Amino acid sequence: MFKKVYNWIDERLDITPLWRDVADHEVPEHVNPAHHFSAFVYCFGGLTFFITVIQILSGMFLTMYYVPDIIHAYASVDYLQHQIPFGKIVRGMHHFGASLVIVMMFLHTLRVFFTGSYKAPREMNWVVGMLIFFIMLGLGFTGYLLPWDNKAYYATKVGVEIAASVPYIGEYIASFLYGGDIVGAQTLTRFFAIHVFFLPGALIAMLAAHFIMIRRQGISGPL
């Protein structure tokens, strides 16, 4: 049945080369943990992506209940976590996944660094990777405010004060992030928009560039 449907579509649209190109390629021996167990270090990039997908999915589901408003934000998080079945699990995925992404990404960066994989011709991919790193930090920073509890409030306050210490433009950065001059209603909506639309958009574009480059250039050779 599935095969028939697939063939029907494939006859018309020739989709086989599309997924072949994405999925069907050799994994070199030196990066395959089945050959050398120590090659598990080459899995960190893929694990980072795996957790990123979980973050995007769990985040999408969280917005079914979450309200980015200073009156209701905390109550909506409390409700979705404690009243909705599996709320603890879904929010937990997003909460702990956020830390895990940073950990995995850091391990991936260390692997790339210590195997020298950032060297020519892969310098651009290193730079894109660094951009992804900063986007992830931005996602962490903006997401931290959204539960609108004391920890969120003060973390944002301190974070924006640090941004405000940038010479000359610091004050402008701060009032852009605050959406005014306090951590308040406008900061919350702003951080929500940045967390849910702007940064994920940038992240997906950067990930696409990261993956296209690694497919073009192939994985770096053994040490």
Partner 1 sequence: MSNHEHQDSKHQPVQRKEMSRRQFLSYTLGGTTAFMVGGTVLPMVRFAVDPLLAKGGESTLVKVIEESKVTAEPQEVKFKVRQVDGWYKSETEKVAWISRDASGAIFALSPVCKHLGCTVFWNTHGRNEYDCPCHDARYSRDGKNITVANLPLDEYVVEIQDGFVYLGGIIANTRA
The stretch among 93-101, 102-110, 119-127, 171-179 that binds partner 1 (CB under 8 A) is 171-179
CB of 211 to partner 1, least distance (A): 28
Distance CA 144, CA 164 (A): 18
Smaller CB separation from partner 1, 93 or 177: 177
The stretch among 23-31, 58-66, 89-97, 153-161 that binds partner 1 (CB under 8 A) is 153-161
- Applying CB under 8 A, does 170 fall inside the site for partner 1? no
- Applying CB under 8 A, does 185 fall inside the site for partner 1? yes
- Applying CB under 8 A, does 166 fall inside the site for partner 1? no
Among 148, 153, 178, 191, binds partner 1 (CB under 8 A): 178
- Applying CB under 8 A, does 7 fall inside the site for partner 1? no
- Applying CB under 8 A, does 172 fall inside the site for partner 1? yes
- Applying CB under 8 A, does 78 fall inside the site for partner 1? no
- Applying CB under 8 A, does 32 fall inside the site for partner 1? no
Kindly determine how many residues on this chain lie close enough to bind partner 1 according to the rule CB under 8 A.
16
Residues that bind partner 1 (CB under 8 A): 70, 157-158, 161-162, 172, 175-176, 178-182, 184-186
